[in-house]
Amino acid sequence: MLDIDVSSGFGCDLISDSLCFSRPDCLLITGLTNVQIVRVADMVEAKAILFVRGKKPGPEVIQLAEEHKLPLLVTNRFLFESCGILYQHGLHSS
């Protein structure tokens, strides 16, 4: 599951903006850990979700992500820093 390519990254802590601005095949980078972020990721056809600020999703979120075959990643870094590192390594914005 981790051997996947993402076409872009989108970092945001708002549901509406994640839905409207992220692009298919992106990596969704967020501090939101409720089930709705998985629903949005599914609808925008994101390839994976990266949770920032050390936030860990609950069992409901993990179960729904498994159903949608959506890998979940976790980092202790802040949103800005996470995006910056990924951008430096060649991942561009949605």
Judged by the rule CB under 8 A, the positions of this chain that interact with other proteins are 13-20, 30, 32, 34-37, 39-40, 42-43, 60
Of residues 20 and 73, the one with the C-beta less far from other proteins:
20
DSSP secondary structure, 2-28, as one string? -----SEEEE-S-HHHHHHH--TTEEE
Of residues 57 and 90, the one with the C-beta less far from other proteins:
57
Specify the residue for token string 């945001």.
Answer: 12
Amino acid at 10: F
Of residues 39 and 77, the one with the C-beta less far from other proteins:
39
CB 16 to other proteins: min, Å: 4
